[in-house]
Chain A
Amino acid sequence: MKVTVCIGSSCHLKGSRQVVETLHALIEEHQLTGRVELAGTFCMGNCQSGVCVRRDGELFSVTPETARHFFETEILPVL
């Protein structure tokens, strides 16, 4: 599975670094490093709903606060 976090300016200001850090830590914690690939991209063109996260083509709006919830509901169950 590929999870891409937008690290463009707008999402960056809304906390994409914290989202990346949270997801990165959770992926390691659940020993999913080989199964979930975490990537970055500059601007998904959807700035108003940042932080934008794409999971296998599907778009989600995540914040630093909801990053853990996103992982538990949208990543773990789908694996």
Chain B
Amino acid sequence: MRKFDTKVQHLKYKVLREVARDAWNGTLAMSALDIPKRIVPGKTPTMRCCVYKERAILAERVKIAMGWDKENPNVIEVIDIACDECPVGGYEVTESCRGCLAHRCEDVCPKGAISFDSHQKAHIDKTKCVNCGACAKVCPYTAINNHKRPCEAACKVKAISPGADLSATIDNSKCIACGACVYQCPFGAITDKSYIVDVIDILKHSQGGSAYKVYAIVAPSVSSQFTYAKLGQVVSGIKALGFHTAIEAALGADMVAYAESRELVEKGILTSSCCPAFVDYIRKQFPQLEQYISHNLSPMATIAKYIKEQDPACKTVFIGPCTAKKMEFRRPEVAPYIDSVITFEELQALFDSRDIDITSMEENVMDNASYYGRIFARCGGLSDAVREGLKEQGREDFEVRSASCDGIEECRIALLKLSRGLQNANFIEGMACVGGCIGGAGCLTHGEKNKAEVDKYGKLAHEKTISDAISVLK
């Protein structure tokens, strides 16, 4: 049974699990300092130069798992002592260069940056090189490598650069908290702040639901997660943690699809509201396009608003694949409806902190949304849903020309076209993660089959149309 993609995720999970365990016991304030030694007990280092550095880094991880540093408004943080300060040399010729005669690298270089020594081995003049990568593509020995930091390569908004001490630094004015760097850093030096201690607090004070009820709002990408168990068992596990019930965020997606399709007809051009990182990207990089951002709350906030209207005393926790949701729920227009946000990684840690083995539990049901609400989790789903929303409202005359973009690079191209009046599409569905939410940084696993899982899950929905799914809410 493999729960995670990488060992970095596993390490992060162990810290979260221990922090959660102590938080349930009410001993965290006393024991937080002991957690690093619990995880690295011996004298032989397994990750770093010595156990003391391992523990020092773990101490930082414990702090982040407890939601520190409160002064940094960003949920994405660098653990500077964990950063390996990877080389930032750009394109470099390696030992694999055989000093061939063809010199394709030289021919293809647009800047004349490549020269050869007496052994015919290639050298790149860094003052001329523009890092286009053409030489690396043509080398028959793949002898030219791009030494780029994985975090910087992952960050498509260019928010990461080496700081004065060479460790990675995040520019908060550019960062959209998508978490791509969190998942890509091989040393686990960039990580997302956790609110599990807050969530445990909320659950404990609910006194089993007698003081107030706690609702879990679960993202539809859950269908591609916890693959070692059945979805119904995940729902049972959520209830066993003390949540009153689990509700599909996809029902909020149904509500949004209905409203957003109307808004599209009114405005003529619209960009989607559900991905907080995409919305933040527009605000930060294309402020002139802000007028096109849908005024609808995201599916998470929309369903939470409905729940709070019915049960004003309750608390709501969103559980999803997304680190950017941890930023979104603190925005003033969302804060009244969502009390906290955790990821699937953190949900796994919560289960294990209570020794809840979901594989041995009976299956519970979670079925609120329609097919269309559920497929929001993958790229293209929202556009399908908006089209369906118009159809169900008798507006088939309105032509939806959608641009479904996943990954910030695709989003950027679509937004650039829109800003220059060259965009043929009238609806831009933007998702910061490649593949959509199923590629989110807070997912336990990221797989090729995930899109099929989401569609399969969508087809299982009890309600087949958006109108039917949301009719109970009126």
- Chain A residues with CB under 8 Å of chain B are 5, 7-10, 12-13, 16-17, 20-21, 24, 39-43, 45
Contact = CB atoms under 8 A, between A and B. Distances in A.
B311 A12 contact: no
Contacts of A8: 245, 247, 368
Given A12-B367, A42-B368, A45-B244, 18 more contacts: A7-B473, A9-B235, A9-B246, A9-B365, A10-B365, A13-B367, A17-B463, A17-B468, A20-B471, A24-B474, A40-B310, A40-B472, A40-B473, A41-B310, A42-B215, A42-B247, A43-B245, A45-B209
Contact of B368 (A12, A20, A24, A39): A12
B471 to A, nearest CB: 6
B472 A42 contact: no
Contact of B472 (A10, A20, A43, A45): A20
Contacts of B310: 39-42
Nearest to B215: A42
B307 A42 contact: yes
Contacts of A41: 310-311
- Assign chain B's interface to a size class: 20 to 34
A43 B215 CA distance: 10
B366 interface: yes
Contacts of A24: 474
Contact of A16 (B307, B311, B366, B472): B472
Interface in B279-325: 307, 310-311
Nearest to A17: B472
B245 A7 contact: no
A10 B215 CA distance: 15
Contacts of B473: 7, 40
Contacts of B148: none
Contacts of B235: 9
B3 interface: no
Contacts of B215: 42
B462 interface: yes
Given A20-B472, A21-B471, A40-B472, A9 B366 contact: yes
Interface in B200-231: 209, 215
A25 to B, nearest CB: 12
A12 B366 CA distance: 9
Q: In this complex, which of B307, B310, B364 has the most chain A Cβ atoms within 10 angstroms of its Cβ?
A: B310
Contacts of A20: 471-472
Nearest to A7: B472
20 contacts: A8-B247, A8-B368, A9-B247, A9-B366, A9-B367, A10-B365, A12-B367, A13-B367, A17-B471, A20-B472, A21-B471, A39-B310, A40-B310, A40-B473, A41-B310, A41-B311, A42-B307, A42-B310, A42-B368, A45-B209
A61 B244 CA distance: 20
Contacts of B246: 9
Interface in B433-474: 462-463, 468, 471-474
Interface in B227-247: 235, 244-247
B368 A9 contact: yes
A39 B312 CA distance: 14
Contacts of A40: 310, 472-473
Contacts of B366: 9
Contacts of B462: 12-13
A12 B248 CA distance: 12
A3 to B, nearest CB: 13
Contacts of A45: 209, 244
A39 B368 CA distance: 16
CB-based closest 4 A-B pairs: A43-B245, A9-B365, A7-B472, A9-B367
B368 A7 contact: yes
Q: Which of A5, A13, A39, A42 has the most CB of B within 10 A?
A: A42
B471 A43 contact: no
A69 to B, nearest CB: 20
